[in-house]
Amino acid sequence: MVRKGWTNLNGIWKFDFDHGLSGLDESWHEKHDYAREIVVPFCPESRLGGIGDRDFHAGVWYEREITVPKLRGRRMLLHFGACDYETTVFLNGEPLGSHRGGYTPFTFDITSVAKPGKNRLTVYARDDLRSFEQPAGKQCPRLESVGCSYTRTTGIWQTVWTEVVPHCYIERVVATAQPNLRTVLVEVDVAGGADGMLSAKLAARGRGKVIARSEEKRFGGTRLFLELDIPNARRWCPEDPFLYDLDVRLLEHGKRVEEITSYFGVRTVALTDREFLLNDVPVYLKLVLDQGFYPDGIYTAPTDAALKRDITLSMDAGYNGARLHQKVFEPRFLYWADRMGYLCWGECADWVARLDNPVAQANLMREWTEIVRRDEMHPSIIAWTATNEQHPVSPKRAAKGEYLSSLQRTIKQLDPTRPVLDNSGYWHTSTDIIDVHDYGTPERIRKDWRKFARTNRTADIPKPAKPVMWPGYAAPSAPVVLSEVGGIGFVTKGAEGWGYGDVPRTKTAFMKRFRDTMNAIMDIPNACGFCYTQLTDIEQEINGIYTCDRKPKFDIKAIRRIHERK
């Protein structure tokens, strides 16, 4: 969704904490003397934000000037990539609107409030992590990080920008490859148009050359579907992550109103009872758990190059993708995954939410609809994981199980092109994939998985990895993935922390245990992949193959050779 006319608002903003949530009562949106400054898009807990206060922050306020040109019948949009958690935005003291959700983007049309020249933009964000009603992922509900929960993020943590658009403009584009792998269905959503007056047409380009066009098509309302026929399409896959450029032109009474550029990959995802298929070809998933934390930016990567580098580090170690764990990763990360042929399982930050609480359920469901809407265009995303490690419930708490089942089915309806896992680890309500978490030793893995290796029956998955099926839910004929394994800790100089099992004392001992563990897992013939915990150390959790500042802890070429075996 690229337009030429946009302005990045990242940089220095005025800033203040509002621990007593008194700012609205004191009309800070009208006038306030700010005591601090912050570097957006980094959160106040981070060093890169310039503040580094890692306490809990009930409320935060931001302010800066923006310049608005003479619009002359055009509109101006204000975009936020993500702001944690409940955000209210003002322009010149007038409310623009609110958004609830810490991981998904939102946009306001500021045309009616803005004036040509300087305007005062104010942002107020509330964040009540310990309400246990909001998706929060691995943000720690205690003051100090503990276990596998880490430093919190409050307020703005992704890019803020403005765009000048026509009076009617393209709001969203989604291109979906059809099962025949030669037809691409493109959905175009338009805002601000008049019924019966609009039309659109498409062009797909490969390496700069136009290879397919659509006929101009008129439509009423706000949504249009067009098809592109691409004979002999290059199929997107890790070995050849080919992307087509997409030009979308919007016309009114036959005259061009605007044109945006995007891209898409031609690929399909499907499952058999024991295989994961990409473009109808089996692929063995060699994934790594990536939680997207940075020592200096926390949730926010220090640079765009850092996002790309994380993928490079993973691929250097022989992984073909990642489980993007307990965080909705930045769109630019997914852009690089698309470009580099990196397979991703998308998740939401569901942890800390009490999923038997109706408010928490509504908050998670709403955020998931926005996640799918934001990311369904990315060919690199090959599956969705609705929740993680929600523990088995008793019949007295049946509402939780019923909710997870409905959440999985809702995501599946929003995006029928990808498999959806209801709950990663321990138990399932309704799912396309049977996944298990097994941090056992190599000896125990070989012994316990012996029977499943012969039968491929869900009933023969060993304890403690064995998933519990929701009462009345028959286990599907679905592929099995060991979606959390390893987690072997190793302490580097100057660090301390924990990993799963005994922490090896030497690199030689680590490499032997790592090799034996991965060979035991890859020897399970009826499993179609694994996910190793994890890519980097994070604070007190020291089971990464890289340190938290992305330095290799081991011989990465040796780790790659282990993964390259058949």
CB atoms within 10 A of CB 148: 21
Per-residue pLDDT for 532 more than 80?
yes
pLDDT digits (tens, 9 = 90+) for 469-494: 766 665 567 899 999 999 999 998 87
Domain boundaries, the chain: 6-162, 180-264, 269-563
Q: Which of 269, 342, 278 is nearest to 308 (CA)?
A: 342
What is the pLDDT averaged over residues 80-109? 97
Q: For residue 87, count CB atoms less than 10 angstroms from its CB and return exposed for 0-12, middle for 13-18, buried for 19 or more.
A: buried
- The pTM for the full model equals 0.95
Could you tell me what percent of the chain has a pLDDT over 70? 97
Residue 46, both tokens: 């981070």
Domains 180-264 and 269-563 share a fold: no
Q: Which pair of structure tokens corresponds to residue 89?
A: 């935005």
CATH number of 180-264: 2.60.40.10
Least confident range from 34-38, 71-75, 219-223, 248-252: namely 219-223
pLDDT single digits (tens) 299-327: 999 999 999 999 999 999 999 999 999 99
Contacts of 406 (CB under 8 A, 6+ apart): none
pLDDT in the model for residue 146: 94
Q: Which residue has the tokens 């990360």?
A: 333
pLDDT tens digits along 10-67: 999 999 999 999 999 999 999 999 999 999 999 999 999 999 999 999 999 999 999 9
**Region 81-99 average pLDDT:** 97
Q: How much is the pLDDT for 483?
A: 96
More confident residue, 466 or 479: 479
| Domain 6-162: which CATH number of 1.10.3720.10, 2.60.40.1930, 3.40.50.2300, 2.60.120.260 | 2.60.120.260
At residue 246, the pLDDT reads 97
Do 33 and 62 meet the contact criterion of CB atoms below 8 Å apart? Answer: no
pLDDT of 394: 60
Q: What percent of the chain has pLDDT over 90?
A: 81
Give pLDDT tens digits for 501-525: 888 989 999 999 999 999 999 999 8
The mean of the pLDDT values for the chain is: 93
| Nearest in space to 435 (alpha carbons), one of 397, 384, 361 | 384
d(CA 397, CA 531) in angstroms, rounded, equals 30
- Please give the pLDDT value at position 461: 87
CATH topology of domain 269-563: TIM Barrel (3.20.20)
